[in-house]
Structure 1
Amino acid sequence: MALVHITLCNVQARADTGATMPIPDSVEGAADTMTSSGTSAQSSIVADGPVLLKPRFWTIAPKGDVWVKFGSDPTANSDTGHLVLANQPRSFAVTAAGEKVAIMDAV
């Protein structure tokens, strides 16, 4: 079992030099902290897609290794999705309105 913090936020692409530098907004659009287990569990967050042409991103920050799956009704499993390792937050772009995320312990 691992504590997993999930955020959904807009991302800006700004830099003083004019180069692209993706930066998440300081205020998240939604956040959920879950405890993973050996069974897939969905977060309560539902992505609404890009807002005013700003891309939306998920950030998954686990305290233990977890499997992560995205979709309209996702089920996390070791056969599909992403493996996110403990203490190594990963960000993923939202691909569709209504997208959800599910997590499960990676044992």
Structure 2
Amino acid sequence: MDFVMKQALGGATKDMGKMLGGEEEKDPDAQKKEEERQEALRQQEEERKAKHARMEAEREKVRQQIRDKKAIPAGCGDEEEEEEESILDTVLKYLPGPLQDMFKK
């Protein structure tokens, strides 16, 4: 009859004593194992965060490259007025003194 009960309950016979109020088996290394497990989890989390940070930095680099491609290149746009002023200043440098004074007024 014992054999039939053990087969019917499977591995639950060890836990039956605990459920009925018996004492639990205490593992002397349980505290040490739990600390090691917590340390391993913490290291895994740090590695995951570092990997995520590297991937995000790479993505941002690619995003910036795309933005740079769409940006207006230097020399295009509103800078024409500055170029005209610099051309006028250059021409004035080569004029004789009295003509320069006349254009400056």
Q: TM-score range by the shorter chain?
A: under 0.3
TM normalised by structure 2 equals: 0.15
Higher helix share: 2
TM-score, normalization: structure 1? 0.15
Quick check: which one's strand share is greater? Answer: 1
* Higher RCO (CA < 8 A, seq sep 6+): 1
